Amino acid sequence: MTKNSACKILASVTAAAYLVVAFPVASSAQSVDDLAQVCAGCHGEKGIPVDKTTPVIWGQKRDYILNQLYDFKVGRRANDLMTPVAQSLSKEDMQALATHFSKMAWPDLPQTTPSADDAKTAREVLNSVNCRGCHQANYEGDTVRPRIAGQQDEYLLKTMNDFRNGDRKTYIGMTALMKSVHEEALKPVAEYLASLKVPARTK
Ligand code: HEC
Ligand code: HEC
């Protein structure tokens, strides 16, 4: 990209920001730390969610977080607890929150270790569909593809079923994939993914 076109993009982004300022929403006066306090009520003070069906968001991919907040706001994804929260957020709040949470360290959750049989079933499913082709080698995620290693097992099971039965409409590709997996295999897959750690990157 030339310097000039970068400047033009910057100028239009700035103009868009002014438009938002011209129509303020109540929450935009709040700092990201104030907003993050609201999130902590469910997603946990130290990143460990209060309920097993609430996902970890500390250390999740920034672009993925941003997409989900937007999808909750516009109704592509619906949840009684999360939808009203997203509806109260401005675009700037969402961007600031996505950056904030993506920079936090993924928490160390107490997870159950699946039985050897369940782990085998899970690996067969994960390899046959090549989940790592998108979710990366250690299921650590990348941009819009979420980290799924070490996520809460009950949440993983719930959301995979939501994709499968069409309640979660955020990505048709995941719906098609989940429909191709035998329903009974989803629980071992969720437990196995939840038990995985992402090895530290060697520089
Ligand atoms: C009242 C509880 C509650 C509060 C407060 C809350 N969340 Fe959530 N959040 C949830 C639940 C429950 C889900 C899972 C919804 C589902 O199953 O589809 C969720 C899902 C999410 C997801 C999707 C994660 C994923 O892996 O797909 C993101 C991102 C998120 N919340 C961010 C936030 C942010 C940022 C805040 C603060 C502004 C916040 N949440 C406040 C309950 C809450
Ligand atoms: C073609 C790429 C692709 C493949 C292959 C793929 N995924 Fe995904 N997956 C995605 C994307 C993109 C999302 C985010 C969808 C969205 O925006 O809601 C996602 C979301 C998910 C989520 C939701 C995570 C969360 O935090 O809510 C789970 C769980 C998941 N995938 C599991 C799997 C499993 C298990 C497999 C293999 C059976 C698989 N995926 C294969 C692209 C893929």
Helix (H) or strand (E) segment spanning residue 5: helix 3-22
Ligand 1 site-directed mutation target among 25, 82, 103, 174, most atoms within 8 Å of CB: 82
DSSP E strand boundaries for 111-196: none
Q: Which ligand sits closest to the CA of 160?
A: 2
For the beta carbon of residue 45, count every other beta carbon within 10 angstroms. 10
Which residues, 6 or more positions from 80, have their beta carbon under 8 angstroms from its beta carbon?
Answer: none
42 close to ligand 1 (CB < 6 Angstrom): yes
Report which protein residue has its CA nearest ligand 1's atom 26.
55
**pLDDT (tens digit per residue) in 66-90:** 999 999 999 999 999 999 999 999 9
**pLDDT (tens digit per residue) in 88-116:** 999 999 999 999 999 999 999 989 999 99
Q: Binning pLDDT at 50, 70 and 90, where does residue 202 land?
A: low
Domains defined along the chain, listed by start: 27-102 (1.10.760.10), 116-195 (1.10.760.10)
Q: How distant, in Å, are the alpha carbons of 36, 125, 158, 161 from that of 183?
A: 35, 11, 12, 8
**pLDDT (tens digit per residue) in 11-48:** 444 444 444 444 444 445 689 999 999 999 999 999 99
Report which protein residue has its CA nearest ligand 2's atom 41.
131
Q: Residue 203: pLDDT above 70?
A: no
How many angstroms does the Cα of residue 34 sit away from the middle of ligand 2?
Answer: 31
How many angstroms does the Cα of residue 146 sit away from the middle of ligand 2?
Answer: 7
The Cα 143–Cα 68 span in angstroms is 12
Q: Residue 49: pLDDT above 50?
A: yes
Question: What percent of the chain is modeled with pLDDT above 90?
Answer: 81
Tokens of 174: 């995941």
Question: What's residue 29's pLDDT?
Answer: 62
How many angstroms does the Cα of residue 57 sit away from the middle of ligand 1?
Answer: 8
